[in-house]
Amino acid sequence: MPPKRALGVDGDRLSTLVAQMPASPTGDDLMKFFRTVADVVAEFNQQKQRRLTVTPACSLDDLDSAVRMFGLDHVVGHRRYVFVSKKKDADVEMSDWLLPTLESLTTDYWRMQTAEALCRSPIDLLLNERLGRIQNKQSIENLALMAEKPMSADVPGGLKTVTGAMDYVIGYGGKEAFTSALIVVEAKRARSFDGGMAQCVAYLVGLQQRREVTSPSRMSVKVYGIVSDGLRYVFLRLDGRRLDVSTTHELLTEEDIRKTYYSAFLV
């Protein structure tokens, strides 16, 4: 199961209230007891809000720190946790124009690493073309993409939350917000790539926590992430507490581009 929001109150105080209850309480006794319990919970929540630490997602350093922060099942670099997409290359054809266009963005005159905006250009092209190509599949005909959507994730223990904005999010339903989000995409320059991995993990945890609240009995807890600097692409899958991370795909050759393209949507 994904990390959950913690809830706690002063246990000693509650025990005292229970001990003070008459052996055969009247209706008035019960009403007084429940009102007092409600006051205790409200007081705890107020204290919790005062103690709550808000951490910007952009301040997270690397994948390992995010794994430890959220208590996930993952060992960085261990082959047991390498994510490999099971989708077949033949599932979807690539448009003829996409390959030469992506190849042109790896040339010396397109210097992606000078600004994050340039890093996003190949990501935009790849996601837009891939999304358009799969629209004829009945099961995912409503899949859509939004950008710069806020997300928060509560850290186990209940006294810290990580907040930020997802660069891209892919999901179903709604015009302004998805009813079910599946994939988070983070665009980062090469020097910020490690931090982008940590941000992506935090947002995936946040998606899981939101699903637990909105529809815990119907929705899967499996969510996916992509981190890219425009040239390199790493794919993530968070299933409950288990996090798997792919090897790095680079847009250096036609074969690399095709592998990245077919892995772009992992659902």
Is 110 a residue whose pLDDT tops 70? yes
pLDDT score of 6: 45
| DSSP notation for 97-159 | THHHHHHHTTSTTS-GGG-HHHHHHHHHHHHHHHHHHTTTSGGGTT-EEEEEEEEEEEETTTT
- Averaged over 140-159, what is the pLDDT? 84
Is 218 a residue whose pLDDT tops 60? no
Domain boundaries defined on the chain = 11-51, 54-263
Q: Which amino acid is at 159?
A: L
Is 138 a residue whose pLDDT tops 60? no
| pTM greater than 0.85 (yes/no) | no
Is 81 a residue whose pLDDT tops 60? yes
Angle between helices 11-19 and 27-51 in degrees, nearest 10 = 170
pLDDT score of 203: 95
* 180-187 and 249-250 strand pairing: unpaired
pLDDT score of 12: 65
Looking at mean pLDDT, say which of 4-13, 28-37, 194-203, 252-261 comes out highest.
194-203
The strand pairing partners of 180, in sequence order, are 172
Which ranges constitute the DSSP H helices of 105-157?
Answer: 116-133
